[in-house]
Structures are given as C-alpha cells and as structure tokens.
Amino acid sequence: MSASHHPSDETLLAHATGGLDEAYRAVVATHLAGCAACRATVRVAEQVGGDLLASIERVPMRADALERAMARLDEPAPPPVPRPVATAGLPDTLAGYGMGRWRPMARGLAVATLLTPEGGRAGLHLLRIAPGMHLAQHGHRGLEMTSVLQGAFRDGEQVYRAGDVAETSDDDDHAPMAIGDEVCVCLIALSGRLRFRHWVFRLLQPLIGF
C-alpha cells in the first residue's frame, strides 16, 4: 500500500527529534509503519540528530561513571517488557494505548478516545464514520492530524485513503465526508478544541467531549 498523502517534512522532522506530543507521534508512527518513503525522510532527520550529537559540546560525567557502567555490564538484561496486544482491528502502533468505549455522536458517527499516558496537550481519538456521513463544518485552534486506518474520506478536492495522513492546521475550516462502501475509521490527534461553525454543534460539544 503506498500512500498519496504524507505528513509534512517538518512533522517528520519533529517526529525524529522526539519532540512530537504523544498523540501526534502515534499518528505519524502509524503512517510510518506502512510508508517506506517517509521512513527514509525520518532517517535523514535522524542523521541530523546524529551529526548534532557528534558535534555537541561534552559535559563531563561523574568521576566514577565508567566504573559504574562497567559494573553493570554483567547484570542480566531486564526481562523484555511484554508487548501489549493492540485492540483487535487496530494497528500495532496503537498497542498500549488504553481505549475508551465507542460513543455514538450522531447517526453514523462514533468516537473512542485513546488514553495517552504522557498527558501531552494533544488528544488521540478514533473516529468511525459511515459512508456518506460528513463531519460538521469546523475549524481548529491547534493542529489536527488524521491517519486513515480503513475506508476513505473526501475533504474538499482531496481524497484520503487507508495509509494517508491529513494535516490541518490553524484556521482551515473543513467538513470531511466518508466515501466509498466501507465504514471509514480514522485516527485523529488534535490539540485545542474544534470550533464548530454551527451553534447546535457548539451546544453539543461538551457532550461529544472534543
């Protein structure tokens, strides 16, 4: 599967630095698992990290640091942390993120929130959208990053299919719509609340929870 919409270079760079909030990191990691081109870009950025590490000024370790390290070399390696199993139907990159229950938001639309233990500023959610259903027109204060896990959606002229990533930032207003025959499942990371254009949705927002 080769994606046609990728995270931006600056997002891949931020991923390589380790500076992305956990929610965005999960979305990017999910895309990377299936995209060799983006993995190559991340490797370029990691090389920058390696180069900077090679030229950073050194800060002396404690006087006994090497001795301490050498003393630990014979310690048995800690038993491998058992890999949490991903919830059925979800990619492995989401293993370990506790998943809340599906909450219906509207006909043909349900949301489940994933728990992000680092407690970053961005939230991570799964969205199930029935074909033909569209999200209410909304804007964002922060960055919304969406990875399509199943099915497809259209946003304006663009069509996003499984493996694709959509980044929407700042004040872009949009009203994405699920297309095709299959239920569209998306992984969405967003910081800041959505700003729905229609007052009914603004009213419902506290109930929807994002």
Partner 1 sequence: MHEGFFLRLAAPGVALNMSGEATQATLLAGHIRLVADLRDRRAFAALFEHFAPRVKSYMLRLGATAAQAEDLAQETMLTLWRKAESFDPARAGAATWVFTIARNLRIDAIRRERLIEPGEPPEDAEAPDMAADAAMAVEQEEGRMRAALAALPEEQAMLLRMSFYEDYAHGDISARLGMPLGTVKSKLRRAMLRLREALEDLR
Partners of 184 in beta bridges: 129
71 lies in the binding site for partner 1 (CB under 8 A) = no
Task: Please report how the helices 36-55 and 9-17 are oriented relative to each other, as an axis angle in degrees rounded to 10.
Answer: 50
Among 1, 2, 18, 171, binds partner 1 (CB under 8 A): 18
13 lies in the binding site for partner 1 (CB under 8 A) = yes
Q: How far apart are CA 207 and CA 25, in angstroms?
A: 27
Instruction: Give least dist CB 151 to partner 1, A.
Output: 22
55 lies in the binding site for partner 1 (CB under 8 A) = yes
Residue 172 per-residue DSSP state: -
- Residue nearer to partner 1 on the CB measure, 57 or 157: 57
The backbone torsions φ and ψ at residue 134, rounded to the nearest 5 degrees and listed phi first, read: -125, 155
- Per CB under 8 A, contacts with partner 1 among 140-169 are none
Convert 117-133 to b/e letters by CB count within 10 Å (16 or more is b): eeebebbbbbbbbebeb
Amino acid in position 130: A
Among 4, 68, 100, 198, binds partner 1 (CB under 8 A): 68
Amino acid in position 169: S
Instruction: Give least dist CB 1 to partner 1, A.
Output: 13
46 lies in the binding site for partner 1 (CB under 8 A) = yes
Do residues 55 and 47 lie in contact, with contact meaning Cβ atoms separated by under 8 Å?
A: no
Q: Which stretch binds partner 1 (CB under 8 A): 2-10, 101-109, 126-134, 156-164?
A: 2-10
- Per CB under 8 A, contacts with partner 1 among 76-105 are 77, 81, 83-84, 93-97
- Give the pairing type, strands 138-140 and 177-179: unpaired
Q: How far apart are CA 193 and CA 66, in angstroms?
A: 49
Binding site for partner 1 (CB under 8 A): 8-10, 12-21, 25-26, 29, 32-33, 36, 39, 41-62, 65-66, 68-70, 72-73, 77, 81, 83-84, 93-97, 117-119, 170
